Structures are given as structure tokens and as C-alpha cells.
């Protein structure tokens, strides 16, 4: 029995490497951004490409963050929430701290089909992963983990207006996509697809290691896989998304 468990564990670790390679492939498919510049419009042939068709889906001036309660003294790392507020509220941004109770209320009101999935999660990080997709899908804007230090104002505003419908951060080592920061237009169809993917996968999968279970069910592997499917199903969709090399 012990040898079977060890074999299964090694198999799952090897399986995890497959998801890393999928993430790396995604990095090579969509635009990688290391500085903010304006993109030319059009497809070079006088027509409108897929990116132009969704360019009017603006990313609003909202920055979303999430914690269990409004008491950030219970956060187990450095919180930069007040930095985000101090830098961006004077520039007309709303900086919203979502609590667990507010997330559940939003789900009960507008995402009832996701409520059983959300409540089935055994780990807080799974609920937080799903919640960040929900709030940005519902309202648009940007999501940032509480321990993400703010971009400078000019850079963030420039990234926001580059013409992409969604932008994500690369994972460490350029090994795929991260969900610790991203931005998207309200109602973005690729976020809808990600929510449906999370719903389909459920709470756990068959991974023994908790971190693999989280990555697969709600985290970067789930998100990267969903974006891969989205790009495959919509010709030219890769032009609407970008990865920020931060």
C-alpha cells in the first residue's frame, strides 16, 4: 500500500509538470508585455480584427482585493491595501476590499449556479481564487493580492488603456500564468469560461498534495487551461490578451 501511494505521488508530480508546460505554451501564444506602449489598431488589411471588435470593452477604474473580513490585521503577510488606496483613489479609482460575506452575497445574487461549488471547497485559497474571477467578471477592473505592491500610477493607467481586453501576470520563471494580479473588462467571455471550467472541475480532483489540488481546481493551472481552450475556440482571441512580465 505504501509503495502504491509513493508511486501515485510521483505520478501526480510528473502530471503537474505537464500543466507547467501548458502554461509555458500559453506564454508563447499571447503578447508578452515588459513595457507599456500603444498598439496599432486594425489588421493591416483595412478590416477589423478580433482585438478591434472588443476594443470598446473598456477596463474600468476599479481595483479589487479580497480578505476574510475588513480587519486586515489578521492578514498573515504584508498588506498594501492602504498603499493602493493612497495612490489610486486620488486619481479617480475605486479600491474595493471584498469580505467573505460580501463575496457570498454576490454569488447568491448573481452567480447562484456557482454557489454549491464555492461552498464545497475545503481550503480558503480555493474560495479566494474563485472569488477574484467572480468580482472582476461582475464589475471589470483589476484584481491584486493584498501583498502585491502597487504599480506606479502612470504605468498602471497605460497598461489599462493598451487595448487588451485582459492582462495577466506571468508566473515565476516565465512558467505560465499567475492569478495574483490581473485586469479585465466587465463580463469578459474568457472569465466566464474560467468560471465554468472551475465549476466543472469541482473542489478537489484526485491530487494527494493540497497545493496541487488548489492549482488544478481553481488556481493557475485551471486558469491557464481555460485560456488555452478559449484561444483555440476563437480565432484571433490571442490578440485580445496579454501577459505582463513583472
Of the ranges 37-51, 183-197, 221-235, which one carries the lowest mean pLDDT score?
A: 37-51
Q: Per-residue pLDDT tens for 53-105?
A: 444 458 999 999 999 999 999 998 899 999 999 999 999 999 999 999 999 99
Close Cβ partners of 176 (under 8 Å, ≥ 6 residues apart): 19, 20, 22, 23, 24, 26, 27, 170, 220, 221, 224
Cα of 81 vs its chain's centroid, Å: 18
Q: Say if CB 25 and CB 228 are below 8 A apart.
A: yes
User: Given CA atoms 81, 154, 166, 238 in this order, what sign does their dihedral have?
Assistant: negative
Predicted pLDDT of residue 39: 57
Query: Which cell is 209 given?
Result: 498534495
CA angle 55, 183, 113 (to 5 degrees): 100
Q: What is the largest CA-CA distance in the chain?
A: 65
Taking the model in full, what pTM does it have? Answer: 0.84
User: Given CA atoms 222, 228, 231, 237 in this order, what sign does their dihedral have?
Assistant: positive
Predicted pLDDT of residue 17: 45
The DSSP output letter for 66 is: E
- Do β-strands 62-66 and 141-144 pair in parallel, antiparallel, or remain unpaired? parallel
- When pLDDT is cut at 50, 70 and 90, the band that residue 48 belongs to is very low
Predicted pLDDT of residue 80: 97
Where are the strands (E) in 117-190, listed by range? 141-144, 166-170, 177-184
Q: How far is CA 193 from CA 99, 220, 230, in A?
A: 24, 14, 7
Amino acid at each position: 500500500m505504501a509503495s502504491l501511494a509513493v508511486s501515485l505521488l510521483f505520478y501526480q508530480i510528473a502530471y503537474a509538470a505537464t500543466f507547467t508546460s501548458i502554461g509555458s505554451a500559453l506564454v508563447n501564444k499571447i503578447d508578452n508585455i515588459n513595457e507599456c506602449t500603444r498598439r496599432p489598431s486594425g489588421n493591416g488589411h483595412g478590416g477589423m480584427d478580433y482585438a478591434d471588435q472588443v476594443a470598446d470593452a473598456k477596463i474600468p477604474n476599479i481595483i479589487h482585493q479580497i480578505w476574510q473580513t475588513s480587519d486586515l490585521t489578521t492578514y498573515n503577510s504584508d498588506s498594501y491595501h492602504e498603499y493602493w488606496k493612497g495612490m489610486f483613489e486620488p486619481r479617480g479609482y475605486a479600491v474595493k476590499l471584498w469580505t467573505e460575506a460580501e463575496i457570498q452575497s454576490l454569488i447568491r445574487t448573481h452567480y447562484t449556479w456557482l454557489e454549491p461549488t464555492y461552498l464545497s471547497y475545503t481550503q480558503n485559497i480555493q474560495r479566494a481564487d474563485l472569488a477574484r474571477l467572480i468580482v472582476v467578471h461582475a464589475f471589470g477592473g483589476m484584481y491584486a493580492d493584498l501583498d502585491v505592491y502597487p504599480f506606479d500610477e502612470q504605468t498602471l493607467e497605460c497598461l489599462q488603456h493598451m487595448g487588451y481586453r485582459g492582462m495577466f501576470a506571468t508566473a515565476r520563471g516565465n512558467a505560465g500564468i499567475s492569478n495574483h494580479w490581473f485586469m479585465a473588462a466587465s463580463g469578459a467571455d474568457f472569465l466566464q469560461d474560467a468560471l465554468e471550467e472551475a465549476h466543472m472541475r469541482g473542489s478537489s480532483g484526485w491530487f494527494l498534495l493540497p497545493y496541487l489540488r488548489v492549482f488544478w481546481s481553481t488556481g493557475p493551472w485551471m486558469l491557464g487551461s481555460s485560456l488555452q481552450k478559449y484561444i483555440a475556440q476563437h480565432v484571433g482571441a490571442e490578440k485580445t490578451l496579454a501577459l505582463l512580465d513583472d
